Structure 1
Amino acid sequence: MKIIIIGGDAAGMSAAMQIVRNSTGHEITVLEKGGVYSYGQCGLPYVISGKIDSTEKLIARTQETFRDKYGIDARIFHEVLQVDSENKTVSGIDHSNEESFSLSYDRLLIATGVSPVVPDWEGASLSGIFSLKTIPDAKEIIDYMQRDIKNVTVIGGGYIGLEMAECFAELGKKVTIIERNEQLAKIFDHEMAQFIHEEAEKQNIILKMGESVEAFSGKNQVEFIKTDKGEYETDLVLIAIGVRPNTTFLEGTGIIKSVNGAIQVNAYMQTSIKDIYAAGDCAIQYHRIKEKDDHIPLGTHANKQGQIAGLNIVNIHKTFKGVVGTSIIKFFNLTLGRTGISEMEAKLLNIPCQSVTIQSSDIAGYYPNNKKLTLKLIYHKETHMILGGQIIGGDGVDKRIDVLATVLFNSMTTDQLLDLDLAYAPPYNGVWDPIQKAARRVK
Structure 2
Amino acid sequence: MKITVVGCTHAGTAAITQMAKLYPEARITVYERNDNISFLSCGIALHVSGVVKDAGQLFYSNPDRLAELGVRTHMKHDALAIDTDAKTVRVRNLETGEEFTDAYDKLVMTTGSWPIIPQMDGIGLENVMLCKNYNHAQAIIEKAKKADRIAVIGAGYIGIELVEAFEQLGKRVTLIDNMERILYKYLDREFTDVTEQTLAERGIAIATGQTVTSFEGRNGRVTRVITTAGEYEADLVVLCIGFRPNTELLAGQVDMLPNGAIVVDEYMRTSKEDVFAAGDSCAVLYNPTGKHAYIPLATNAVRMGTLVAKNLLRPTVKYMGTQGTSGIKIYDYNIASTGMTETAALAAGMNVKNVTITDNYRPEFMPTYEQVLLKVVYEADGRRIVGAQVLSKADLTQAINTLSVCIQNGMTMDELSYVDFFFQPHYNKPWNLLNQAGLQAI
Partner of 1:173: 171
> Which whole-Å deviations, capped at 9, do the CAs of 1:318-357 have from their partners, x for residues lacking one?
2111011211111112122111211122223332211121
Q: Distance between the aligned counterparts of 1:143 and 1:13, measured in 2? A: 29
Amino acid at match of 1:158: G
Partner of 1:433: 432
Partner of 1:185: 183
What is the correspondence of 1:325-340 to structure 2 with a 5 Å cutoff? 325-340=324-339
Q: Distance between the aligned counterparts of 1:297 and 1:237, measured in 2? A: 23
**Matched residue SS, 1:417:** helix
Amino acid at match of 1:367: M
Q: Distance between the aligned counterparts of 1:316 and 1:73, measured in 2? A: 26
Instruction: Say whether 1:37 aligns with 2:37.
Output: yes
Q: Distance between the aligned counterparts of 1:393 and 1:282, measured in 2? A: 34
Amino acid at match of 1:205: I
Q: Distance between the aligned counterparts of 2:145 and 2:274, measured in 1? A: 49
Q: Distance between the aligned counterparts of 2:224 and 2:286, measured in 1? A: 41
Amino acid at match of 1:129: V
Q: Distance between the aligned counterparts of 1:431 and 1:412, measured in 2? A: 22
**1:192, CA displacement in angstroms?**
2.6
Q: Distance between the aligned counterparts of 1:60 and 1:103, measured in 2? A: 28
Instruction: Say whether 1:233 aligns with 2:233.
Output: yes
**Matched residue SS, 1:336:** strand
**Matched residue SS, 1:112:** coil
**Matched residue SS, 1:165:** helix
CA contact (8 A) 1:259 1:294 kept: no
Q: Distance between the aligned counterparts of 1:21 and 1:15, measured in 2? A: 10
Q: Distance between the aligned counterparts of 1:98 and 1:167, measured in 2? A: 39
CA contact (8 A) 1:23 1:314 kept: no
**1:397, CA displacement in angstroms?**
2.7
Q: Distance between the aligned counterparts of 1:259 and 1:294, measured in 2? A: 11
Amino acid at match of 1:244: R
**Matched residue SS, 1:382:** coil
What is the correspondence of 1:59-208 to structure 2 with a 5 Å cutoff? 59-67=59-67, 69-147=68-146, 149-187=147-185, 188-208=187-207
What is the correspondence of 1:215-254 to structure 2 with a 5 Å cutoff? 215-219=214-218, 220-252=220-252, 254=253
**1:316, CA displacement in angstroms?**
6.1
Q: Distance between the aligned counterparts of 1:33 and 1:366, measured in 2? A: 58
Partner of 2:5: 5
CA contact (8 A) 1:259 1:295 kept: no
TM-score, normalization by structure 2: 0.97
Flag the 1:364–1:94 CA change in 2: closer, same or farther, 3 A: farther
Q: Distance between the aligned counterparts of 2:367 and 2:197, measured in 1? A: 25
Deviates more, 1:310-319 or 1:171-180: 310-319
Q: Distance between the aligned counterparts of 1:6 and 1:405, measured in 2? A: 31
CA contact (8 A) 1:213 1:226 kept: yes
**Matched residue SS, 2:107:** strand
Q: Distance between the aligned counterparts of 2:52 and 2:203, measured in 1? A: 24
**1:155, CA displacement in angstroms?**
0.6
Deviates more, 1:283-292 or 1:191-200: 191-200
> Which whole-Å deviations, capped at 9, do the CAs of 1:274-332 have from their partners, x for residues lacking one?
11110011011101111100111111110000000112123362211101121111111
Q: Distance between the aligned counterparts of 2:78 and 2:163, measured in 1? A: 32
CA contact (8 A) 2:325 2:337 kept: yes
CA contact (8 A) 2:355 2:440 kept: yes
CA contact (8 A) 1:9 1:39 kept: yes
**1:386, CA displacement in angstroms?**
1.4
Q: Distance between the aligned counterparts of 1:276 and 1:59, measured in 2? A: 27
Amino acid at match of 1:269: M
Instruction: Say whether 1:210 aligns with 2:209.
Output: yes
Instruction: Say whether 1:321 aligns with 2:320.
Output: yes
Q: Distance between the aligned counterparts of 2:266 and 2:297, measured in 1? A: 17
**Matched residue SS, 2:52:** coil
Q: Distance between the aligned counterparts of 2:23 and 2:351, measured in 1? A: 48
What number of residue pairs does the alignment pair up?
440
**Matched residue SS, 1:260:** coil
Q: Distance between the aligned counterparts of 2:368 and 2:132, measured in 1? A: 37
CA contact (8 A) 1:19 1:314 kept: no
CA contact (8 A) 1:362 1:396 kept: no
Hey, which bits of structure 1, 4+ residues long, moved more than 4 A?
none
What is the correspondence of 1:355-370 to structure 2 with a 5 Å cutoff? 355-370=354-369
Q: Identical aligned pairs, as a percentage?
A: 31
Deviates more, 1:396-405 or 1:135-144: 396-405
Q: Distance between the aligned counterparts of 2:69 and 2:350, measured in 1? A: 49
Instruction: Say whether 1:412 aligns with 2:422.
Output: no
CA contact (8 A) 2:384 2:412 kept: yes
Q: Distance between the aligned counterparts of 1:278 and 1:206, measured in 2? A: 41
TM-score, normalization by structure 1: 0.96
Q: Alpha carbon RMSD of aligned pairs, Å?
A: 1.4
**1:190, CA displacement in angstroms?**
2.5
